[in-house]
Chain A
């Protein structure tokens, strides 16, 4: 089925199998935990921000979850490196739009770049939370300089 292929396209399957930037980042200065109580997904996002330039120097994640949540976290980390905090927030907005917009609406796939892989998620509303967990956790880490916990049920 086409929608399913789109949801689990090769990029996502690959990131699920070989997650990038996986593990802890002891030098981080932003950190948050995310939890999806409905499916038990747990994630931690570690971010190192250069306080002078406001740029994300490094970002890593760890946790357990389904292919969608793991791949989403992995892809997110690859997109964040080198971005400013402001750019990271914009990326979040863009991502959020991709996964929650009406599947029948015309999405400008070309301008989405790497985010386009998440288009398939829209067809499966039950899976939007899986894809979003890492992103909300990232946002929470940026918003708070201390360790915080975010739950998909509070979003």
Chain B
């Protein structure tokens, strides 16, 4: 057994759900781009909070509240270090990537927009990086401009540059495409936009779990991600913003915790990051996310990148051998996501048939309808890999696909 196999066996023991059966077959979980499974340490951290120190944060003088506040703030510090932000004020807890993007759209971008201004995105955005901009455009008379992609599913950079005119007031781009796996040249995008003084948001929902992200090196103005895609719980996410921006922004939501003092005449908002965290937050979510990131750090991106690249290569090789299977998204730089279609078999039927073999994949448009139209398919089947997946699981996937083809031939 190779070192990688031994390490994998150990890692898989950290994820109890990977041991379960589905229809009597071992679960082959290949829907990691939708959500990742959670290691025991994350599950324990959440139950520990409820078993031992459940209480509200930033309020009580009692012991439990202090402990909960400490753990919540400790997570913020872990995240700050994980993405190498300047300080913890730049780490805003949100419900997820979607809320982070909406926050920036409404509190940062909208007040700066006038009629005729433009917001630039790409063709491969998730709906959550399309619709918030459409809403602010509708309200302000600004226009949403979309940079095209080529047949491999890569951004056409020259076209992006051409669209980056003085009318563009904001750029919001996905780092890794959830349905194609494409890794965008994010550093070049940011450099180009900054050379024209245009701020940039990075949708890191599909990259935070696959690669080391350093917000200071990238120099992005904002970066949003979700906890549940990086082995943490659902309902918690992070918005990173440069504090110079966050400082000047108006609050997104009003309520408790985001204020210093309230009267009917005048309310003074709280300092960062609390100005953007109105109401009792998802305390166990933040604690669980902090634990998840500690776990990822412990696994290490050297292992994650090496193993996931091997899985991607192996899967693309295996699936390409199947007659009538076409991979959608063949960018030269990809994360471990493989979207495909089968001749004459609808992805929904593929999904159901793989399911009874214990193989969990995503089927549908993956919240990227424009991409589906761009490639002329109604939907795809998507297998997405995490560092706990194995080559044997990809063999099971390939065999199961062969069975589907046979049944429909």
Contact = CB atoms under 8 A, between A and B. Distances in A.
Interface in B356-377: 356, 363-365, 369, 372
A66 B348 contact: yes
Interface string B326-363: 00000000000000000001111100110010000001
Interface in A63-105: 64-68
A5 to B, nearest CB: 9
A130 B348 contact: yes
Contact of A68 (B347, B349, B356, B407): B349
B264 interface: no
Interface string B66-91: 00000000000000000000000000
A56 B156 CA distance: 53
A54 B130 CA distance: 48
Contacts of A3: 356
A82 to B, nearest CB: 30
Identify which of A16, A66, A68 gathers the most chain B CB atoms within 10 Å of its CB. A66
B364 to A, nearest CB: 5
Given A4-B352, A13-B408, A39-B364, A67 B345 contact: yes
A73 to B, nearest CB: 13
Interface residues of A, number: 20
Contacts of B363: 39
B319 interface: no
B348 A39 contact: yes
A64 B349 contact: no
A92 B349 CA distance: 24
A7 B23 CA distance: 15
A155 interface: no
B364 A66 contact: no
Nearest to A130: B348
Contacts of A66: 346-349
A126 B352 contact: yes
A26 interface: no
B26 interface: no
A110 interface: no
Interface in A22-46: 38-41
B378 interface: yes
Contacts of A4: 352-353, 356
A40 B379 CA distance: 7
Contacts of A38: 364
Contacts of B365: 39-40
Nearest to A4: B356
B390 to A, nearest CB: 23
Contact of A39 (B356, B379, B407): B379
A64 B378 contact: yes
Contacts of A8: 349, 353, 407
A8 B346 CA distance: 13
Contacts of B379: 39-40
A40 B378 contact: yes
A127 interface: yes
Nearest to A124: B352
Contacts of A16: 408
Nearest to B351: A126
Interface in A91-141: 124, 126-127, 130
12 contacts: A7-B352, A8-B353, A13-B407, A39-B363, A39-B379, A40-B379, A64-B378, A65-B348, A66-B348, A66-B349, A68-B349, A127-B348
Given A4-B352, A39-B379, A40-B369, 15 more contacts: A4-B353, A13-B407, A16-B408, A39-B348, A39-B363, A39-B364, A40-B372, A41-B378, A65-B378, A66-B347, A66-B348, A67-B345, A67-B346, A68-B349, A127-B348
Interface of B: 23, 345-349, 352-353, 356, 363-365, 369, 372, 378-379, 407-408
What 8 pairs across the A-B complex have the smallest Cβ distances?
A66-B346, A66-B348, A40-B378, A67-B349, A4-B356, A1-B356, A66-B349, A39-B348
